[in-house]
Amino acid sequence: MPNCMQHSPQQVVYPDLHNPDEYKLKYHDHDKEHAMKFFLVCDFESFLEPYCDSDPNGTTRIIDEHKVSGFCCHRVTDLPQTLSLLLFTAVPM
């Protein structure tokens, strides 16, 4: 309890879902932007497989293992010379 008394209480306030000015992310410090005018959006896909080689003497037990089935990387930009690029690679099973 002493740690709780060091700081004053706080209350979480969520944005109003009916007011777009409250729930949309805004950015005003454009002087801090990087020179590159694109960003990458990436996603990995996987499936779970039962794991059979657990250590019987271990303190934890592995149940499933993620097996990567593919990934996707999408470049987002407004520069015409580097239009959006979509890459997809499926890992053979």
Write out pLDDT tens, residues 47-62: 888 887 767 777 877 7
Q: Which of 67, 68, 73, 69 is nearest to 43 (CA)?
A: 73
Tokens of 41: 């959006």
Polymer length in residues for the chain: 93
User: Residue 82: pLDDT above 70?
Assistant: no
What does the pLDDT look like over 25-40, one tens digit per residue?
778 888 887 777 777 8
Residues 6+ apart with CB under 8 A from 39: 75, 76, 77
Nearest to 68 by CA among 93, 31, 32: 93
pTM above 0.85, yes or no: no
The tokens of 78 are what?
A: 């407004």
